[in-house]
Amino acid sequence: MTEQILQTSQTKVEQPEQELREQPAFTAPKPKQPRQLVRFTFYKLDPQWQLLPVEQRQQGKEQLLSIFEEYAHEPLMRSFALYGLRSDCDLMLWQATYAIEDLRVRRTRFFR
């Protein structure tokens, strides 16, 4: 009876070793997924903005809207008015893309 117990215990030990030998030594890496870049930018309007003539403020608003319309086909670009909700900022831009160059170009255009 003890021989039978020893034999069953030996076979149990040998089975995992055989399974390890049968497994490939190298497993293929997972394919890389594209990395999404997300930026939340908060802006506060300069108080001097309110002192500008109405025509000049309207022109600035139209230029900003044209930038948004240009990037409307992009994956994600959203704006949120925070005026009255937070004292340290008036506007938030939420942008997401797969290329860092897109974020840089949008920011440059926005600051102009």
- The pLDDT of residue 76 is 81
Average pLDDT of the residues in 3-7: 51
Cα 37 off chain centre by: 4
The arrangement of secondary structure in 37-111, i.e. its CATH architecture, is 2-Layer Sandwich (3.30)
| Domain residue limits, the chain | 37-111
43-101 pLDDT, tens per residue? 888 889 889 999 999 998 898 888 888 877 766 888 888 888 888 888 888 888 888 88
Q: Can you tell me the distance from the alpha carbon of 5 to that of 64, in angstroms, rounded to the nearest whole number?
A: 82
22-35 pLDDT, tens per residue? 655 677 788 888 88
Q: Can you tell me the distance from the alpha carbon of 27 to that of 15, in angstroms, rounded to the nearest whole number?
A: 21
- Predicted TM-score (pTM) of this structure: 0.57
